[in-house]
Amino acid sequence: MKKVLILVFTEIFLFSFGQKKMNSVEYKNSAEVFTIKGLSQSTSIDCGNSKMILLSGQVPLDAAGNLVGNDVEKQTQQVFKNIESILKEYGATGKDIVKLGIFITDISRTPDFRKIRDLYINLQNPPVSSLVEVSRLFRDDVLIEVEATAVIKNK
């Protein structure tokens, strides 16, 4: 019985200290990226030695909400410009991206997407990705949307 009590108290002790390693969740927006009222552009999760940054799906709208580009290549440039602007709020860049979720209306345009994506990511260790062809995004003139997850070391 004594061994069971020691084990239980040890687990409680370790559990209570383990919970303190994940301190907080923080939400941020960038003034350089169009913001829809009631939605967050990103959130970060403090994971102790590092921080995980989760970005909402980014579309090719400028800070004023205007569509940028009428093809996948130009729209992808704006999408990654938005991603970079948001990551900058955390002291991160596209090189810190570990996961991408890509939604594209014409999968045959994937090479156009990758041409631009490769300018922003770490090509030595590219992020894991999911690519999904969709029939439509939130507007008919939007051809691509990209979600990103980045990880940086805490300072």
pLDDT of residue 34: 85
Domains with residue ranges and CATH for the chain = 19-153 (3.30.1330.40)
How many whole angstroms separate alpha carbon 80 and alpha carbon 120?
Answer: 7
d(CA 107, CA 133): 6
Ramachandran category for residue 64: left, alpha or beta (phi over 0 → left; psi -120 to 50 → alpha): alpha
pLDDT of residue 19: 47
pTM: 0.83
How far lies 45's CA from each of 20, 54, 94, in Å?
Answer: 13, 8, 18
pLDDT in tens, 8-37: 555 655 555 554 454 588 888 888 888 877
Q: What stretches of 48-143 adopt beta strand conformation (E)?
A: 50-58, 97-104, 128-133
Within 10 A of 96 (CB to CB), how many other CB atoms are there? 20
Coil vs helix vs strand at 95: helix
* pLDDT 10s digits, 79-119: 999 999 999 999 999 999 999 999 999 999 999 999 999 99
